């Protein structure tokens, strides 16, 4: 059986925005799980994007900057930044196609936010100023290691992610200042931090529509539960 192609929308990043780039952790985790990453520039036109999407067996939405709040009907908060409208456009199209086609999709960090907004949900634009919490949600603020556990999440019993992680309480890394506020229709909240911030969602009845707020790709080399998220995703893409 051939290995499944996993489409990853890939934005322009880096110095002077001259390069398309994607974090090594996503690539290495997919390869370790048996998938073949297909990095697709978010600037390709819609016809090309559709053709590339149709060639893939699954979609991974990676971390990154903030989603444009205009996409979910809100004014821009003063702390919202690093908006990439090309990326928003591409990821929203791909997310809607994948859910409609029942193609497996896995969202990570920005990915849970982008997927939610694409399907009609809303976001907390800045946790420090809009959410009462003492938890460390953004490791960038104090130079946390990428695989450092910053807080725990509680996982709902009977959820797909509980079966994947094989635990109801999981220590996670954390590098975000935004989060899901109102889930889009069809999503079930499966994980929360102890302060109530949404950390995971899924769509029951779909082959695999799972999203998490933390970064399992940064922990998958040392944590079997984090690697298993990619293994189960890639497995769903082979059906």
Q: What are 29-61's pLDDT values in tens digits?
A: 999 999 999 999 999 999 999 999 999 999 999
For the residues 113-142, what does the mean pLDDT come to? Answer: 92
For the residues 99-109, what does the mean pLDDT come to? Answer: 98
Q: For a pLDDT cut of 70, what percent of the chain falls above it? A: 97
Q: What are 176-194's pLDDT values in tens digits?
A: 999 999 999 999 999 999 9
pLDDT for residue 58? 98
pTM listed for this prediction: 0.96
Nearest by Cα to 124 from 170, 132, 11:
132
What's the farthest any 2 CA atoms get from each other in the chain? 50
For the residues 82-90, what does the mean pLDDT come to? Answer: 95
pLDDT for residue 12? 85
Is residue 64 predicted with pLDDT exceeding 90? yes
Burial classification of residue 239, based on how many CB atoms lie within 10 Å of its CB (0-12 exposed, 13-18 middle, 19 or more buried)? exposed
Phi/psi of residue 109, nearest 5 degrees: 55, -105
Q: Which residue has the tokens 């996993």?
A: 6
Is residue 19 predicted with pLDDT exceeding 80? no
| Spans of all domains in the chain | 5-237
pLDDT for residue 177? 94
Is residue 146 predicted with pLDDT exceeding 80? yes
Q: What are 196-212's pLDDT values in tens digits?
A: 999 999 999 999 999 99
pLDDT for residue 17? 64
- Could you give the CA distance from residue 162 to residue 231 in angstroms, rounded to a whole number? 14
5-237 architecture in CATH?
3-Layer(aba) Sandwich (3.40)
For the residues 98-123, what does the mean pLDDT come to? Answer: 98
Q: Which residues are catalytic?
A: 109, 215, 217
């Amino acid at each position: 059986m051939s290995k499944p192609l996993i489409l990853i929308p890939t934005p322009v990043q880096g110095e002077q925005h001259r390069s398309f780039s994607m974090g090594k952790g996503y690539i290495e985790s997919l390869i370790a799980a048996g998938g073949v990453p297909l990095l697709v520039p978010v600037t390709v036109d819609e016809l090309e994007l559709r053709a590339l999407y149709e060639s893939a067996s699954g979609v991974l939405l990676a971390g990154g900057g903030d989603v444009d709040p205009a996409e979910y009907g809100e004014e821009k908060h003063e702390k919202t930044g690093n908006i990439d409208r090309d990326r928003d456009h591409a990821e929203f199209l791909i997310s809607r196609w994948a859910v409609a086609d029942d193609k497996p999709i896995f969202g990570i960090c920005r990915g849970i936010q982008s997927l939610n907004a694409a399907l009609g949900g809303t976001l907390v634009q800045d946790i420090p100023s809009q959410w009462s919490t003492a938890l460390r949600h953004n490791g960038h603020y104090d130079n946390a290691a990428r695989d450092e556990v910053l807080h725990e999440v509680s996982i709902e019993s009977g959820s797909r992610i509980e079966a994947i992680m094989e635990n109801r309480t999981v220590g996670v890394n954390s590098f975000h200042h935004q989060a899901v506020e109102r889930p889009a229709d069809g999503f079930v909240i499966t994980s929360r931090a102890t302060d109530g911030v949404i950390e995971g969602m899924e769509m029951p009845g779909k082959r695999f529509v799972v999203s998490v707020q933390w970064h399992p790709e940064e922990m998958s080399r040392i944590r079997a539960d984090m690697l298993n998220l990619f293994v189960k995703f890639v497995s769903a893409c082979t059906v």
